[in-house]
Structure 1
Amino acid sequence: MNISNLLLKNLRYKHIYAFVAASFVLLLSACLKDDNADNGSIPATLVSIVHASPDAGDLIVGIDGSRANNQSFNLGNRIVYLPFFPGGHQFQVNRASDNKMLDIKNWNLEGSVYYTIFAVDRLDSLELLGVRDFYAGDEFKENHAKVRFINLCPDSVSFDLKVNTIDTLLASNKKFKQNSQFGDIIADDKTSYNVQILDHATNRQLAVEEFKPVAGRYYTIMAGGLMDPKTEAQKLRVFVLKHD
């Protein structure tokens, strides 16, 4: 499916679509805020998309045949949560330079659940990886945030995730495309962390990034890039993704 051509064909209807899309978002957002089976509302499902391919360059993302990103979409970029009715949805990713389709997946999504879909691996084997995030209405400890780790470095060894002020690892022995569950971490005005990606076998530090969480927020710490990069832009580094 040529997503770009589909959008160009329908460009003359952009004002109508914008109004319909805005109404759709408001309707689904209202469903999430008032998720009560007795009043007949349908709880929405929300999906974000993250570019995690170190060498794919600019990508086009399509959802159910419509383009999801209007701006450039490169390594580390994220499309914030988009609301949909629960059920089956089709996700597609194309290379922006020539609109070549790289992967297409169909997923059945639950209501009141947040998901992130990652475009992962190198260009010649790029795929979409769907990960369940959390449920709407999950509770937080006071002055805490929730953090998880995902290893999306294609040529990686197993990684650990450590922060400088906590003795225990936040995640251990995560191979490519593996993630940990969300865990609690202190988040107040006085607390910041150095987040370190370690080689699980040798305990050698491979990448580090400063991280200051905000209480009541979810974060994914992503290992992205390559251990053996061809360019500086492809170098392994820590990405802190805030779920908003």
Structure 2
Amino acid sequence: MSNSAHHHRRTGGLLWLLAAICLISFVAWAPGPGSAHKAAAAPSAFVRIMHASPDIGVADVFLDGQRALSNFQFGTVTDYLAIPPGPHKVQVALIGKGPNAAVITQTLSVEPGFAYTVAAIGVQATGLSLVVFKEDNSLVAGKAKLRFYHLSPEGGPATLSANGTPLIKNLGYLQASDYTLLTPGRYTFDVDLAEQHVSQQTTLEVAANQITSIFSIGLALGMPKLELVARQVAGTPGLPDTGSDPGPSAASPASSVGVPLALPLGLTLLLLVIGSSAAFLLRSRR
């Protein structure tokens, strides 16, 4: 074998060796599949609490034995509270009585990165409990989102109308409707409990880029009387992609096309090293 052929073979071998070393380094450095998603995953769940039980009265709410809310009155809806994901013991007791005197004790489980509404519901005759609704607080640009919650016991199915037009029909007790998109503006909402021939109304300015919740609470034929409680939120605080954070989620891809817009750092270094090594060896041949 000539010196030229031997030198060419050695040069090719060195190039392959350098490429292999850089490739191994790049694979070891590169983050695994889904690592960006895991890093960006929200560490908390977000929960708001609604007092919709006519028979509980003013209450304290305990989370895992610790008081989370005090002086919690009928018809109140809290802001979203960030809590660790997983199972939690929730107790509702008359104010000042402590968790050992709880009238409701339930274990509820929540997932990280999700928003929930937890409602204290029911009457003594049929039982008191908590009901959980998982929320979708993503927004539709320029539109208002509406969800209706029927939490009025002993009233039968409920129909929600907007400016005289039925919007959500025959929603059962302890159910929440699907989300409805509305043009922003002023609306008069009526809730009709047809079986009891009872209705109630409220007038709201429904805003763009917000989620409006309407809760039907109280008794059709007793006290406290049927009433509507409305709340509007612009997404979930601390939860990306729900309207509360104007920046994109950290887990969002830079582009939806198949070809990346920029080469990964490791691959760029690999190409630079191979190119530099090739140039050096070719100059040595000469």
Partners of 1:93 and 1:141 in 2: how far apart? Answer: 38
Letter paired with 1:106: T
Assess if the C-alpha contact under 8 Å between 1:147 and 1:218 holds in 2.
yes
Equivalence for 1:132: 134
Q: Does 1:240 align with 2:238?
A: no
Assess if the C-alpha contact under 8 Å between 1:161 and 1:196 holds in 2.
yes
Q: What do the CA deviations read for 1:202-224 (whole angstroms, capped 9, x no partner)?
A: 9x561001111221111211111
Q: Does 1:215 align with 2:208?
A: yes
Given the superposition, is the C-alpha separation of residues 214 and 108 from structure 1 closer, same or farther in structure 2, using an over 3 Å criterion? same
Q: What do the CA deviations read for 1:63-96 (whole angstroms, capped 9, x no partner)?
A: 12211113x2111112211112222222111122
Given the superposition, is the C-alpha separation of residues 228 and 201 from structure 1 closer, same or farther in structure 2, using an over 3 Å criterion? closer
Q: What do the CA deviations read for 1:184-243 (whole angstroms, capped 9, x no partner)?
A: 1112xxx211110013469x561001111221111211111101114xxx0101111234
Assess if the C-alpha contact under 8 Å between 2:152 and 2:226 holds in 1.
yes
Equivalence for 2:120: 119
Q: When the two structures are superposed, what TM-score results if normalisation uses the length of structure 1?
A: 0.73
Given the superposition, is the C-alpha separation of residues 38 and 49 from structure 1 closer, same or farther in structure 2, using an over 3 Å criterion? closer
Assess if the C-alpha contact under 8 Å between 1:172 and 1:200 holds in 2.
no
Partners of 2:83 and 2:124 in 1: how far apart? Answer: 28
Offset, 1:98: 3.5
Equivalence for 2:279: none
Q: What do the CA deviations read for 1:36-61 (whole angstroms, capped 9, x no partner)?
A: 52536544210010100123210111
Q: Does 1:199 align with 2:199?
A: no
Q: Give aligned pairs, total.
A: 197
Letter paired with 2:181: D
Letter paired with 1:173: N
Partners of 1:195 and 1:36 in 2: how far apart? Answer: 44
Equivalence for 1:94: 93
Secondary structure of the corresponding residue to residue 37 of structure 1: helix
Q: When the two structures are superposed, what TM-score results if normalisation uses the length of structure 2?
A: 0.63
Partners of 1:181 and 1:84 in 2: how far apart? Answer: 25
Letter paired with 1:115: Y
Equivalence for 2:183: 186
Structure with larger Rg = 2
Letter paired with 1:102: V
Given the superposition, is the C-alpha separation of residues 235 and 97 from structure 1 closer, same or farther in structure 2, using an over 3 Å criterion? farther
Offset, 1:97: 5.4
Assess if the C-alpha contact under 8 Å between 1:53 and 1:123 holds in 2.
no
Assess if the C-alpha contact under 8 Å between 1:145 and 1:185 holds in 2.
yes
Letter paired with 1:196: D
Partners of 2:209 and 2:171 in 1: how far apart? Answer: 26
Assess if the C-alpha contact under 8 Å between 2:60 and 2:94 holds in 1.
yes
Q: What are structure 1's unaligned runs of at least 5 residues?
A: 1-34
Assess if the C-alpha contact under 8 Å between 1:156 and 1:175 holds in 2.
no
Secondary structure of the corresponding residue to residue 230 of structure 2: strand
Given the superposition, is the C-alpha separation of residues 195 and 94 from structure 1 closer, same or farther in structure 2, using an over 3 Å criterion? same
CA RMSD of aligned residues (A): 2.3
Given the superposition, is the C-alpha separation of residues 192 and 65 from structure 1 closer, same or farther in structure 2, using an over 3 Å criterion? same
Q: Percent identity?
A: 24
Assess if the C-alpha contact under 8 Å between 1:69 and 1:79 holds in 2.
no
